[in-house]
Amino acid sequence: MELTNKRVLLTGASGGLGRPLASLLVSNGANLVVVGRNAASLDQLKQELAPATVECISGDITAAAFREQLATQMAQSGGLDLLINLAGTNTFRNFEAEDPAELEAMFQTNLIAPVLLTRALLPDMLQRGRGHIVNIGSILGSLGLPYFTTYCATKAGLQRFSEALRRELADTPVGVTYVAPRAVRTAINSDAVYQMAEATNMAMDEPDAVATQIFQAINKECSEAYLGWPEKLFVRINALLPGFIDRATAKQNRETRRFAVDSSPEQ
């Protein structure tokens, strides 16, 4: 996808992956609309990206009124070429200790909001005969990992949504890309995740490198991109032989649980 003068809406733009991705998008000529709840950090990002054309719209993507506002603004100002659903959140704890309200909010942010934002923006894309939707999932959307149970469920939903919509839109000018990174060194991960990663030798990528891979997947309009080796192989094995992955995770479970349960508020 050629990005020069393309209008791109990026949710989660102020986060650890959002900032380097925003930088790549504007340096390749995109006119960027950045979205997040914290207006000050969006303004700071805009200053960092100057003199590129960047529009900040602060709000909560889980709010229906905010999604409608975004759709109206995009439609009234020439439409949108690319929607990147990047905003997300996670927890790392044993499932019985999940806070029900936080659990529900994670489904809202990671799954319901990107699905409904796509629903709000897609009709205008189809009417104008142009557009592309990019959903940022996770390797954990295709590989259930203990103590990330809720997060895995949200990203699995996003993966299937992306797959079905891509097939549904195959004979239209609107494309769909799903990108699934493995763990990345950003603030979405708590100290407990970093400690667990260290203790279990779990690989964690640098945000700049992952943003570059996401950008490349967008550029090539990939259907799906799973990032990280051997994780992308584990995704394939899990689909064919889940019992093999059951046994592999069981070995690490005791060690992982030590960090997950320590980090749980109710333990």
Ligand X SMILES: NC(=O)c1ccc[n+]([C@@H]2O[C@H](COP(=O)([O-])OP(=O)(O)OC[C@H]3O[C@@H](n4cnc5c(N)ncnc54)[C@H](OP(=O)(O)O)[C@@H]3O)[C@@H](O)[C@H]2O)c1
Site for ligand X in 132-191 (CB under 6 A): 136, 138, 181, 183-184, 186-189
E strands along 3-53, which residues? 7-11, 31-36
| Helix/strand/coil for 263 | coil
Residue 151 a catalytic site member:
yes
Binding of ligand X by 245 (CB under 6 A): no
User: Whole-number minimum distance, CB 124 to ligand X, in Å?
Assistant: 21
Which of residues 114 and 175 has its CB atom nearest to ligand X in the complex?
A: 114
User: Whole-number minimum distance, CB 39 to ligand X, in Å?
Assistant: 8
Cα 79 to Cα 177: distance, rounded to the nearest angstrom: 19
Which of residues 100 and 243 has its CB atom nearest to ligand X in the complex?
A: 100
What interhelical angle do 242-262 and 191-200 show, nearest 10? 130
E strands along 64-222, which residues? 82-85, 131-136, 174-180
Q: Which of 151, 178, 194, 226 is catalytic?
A: 151
Binding of ligand X by 18 (CB under 6 A): yes
Residue with tokens 């949108």: 80
Binding of ligand X by 118 (CB under 6 A): no
Burial of 230 (0-12, 13-18, 19+ CB in 10 A): exposed
Q: Applying CB under 6 A, which residues contact ligand X?
A: 11-18, 36-38, 41, 60-62, 86-90, 109, 136, 138, 181, 183-184, 186-189
Q: Which residues are catalytic?
A: 151
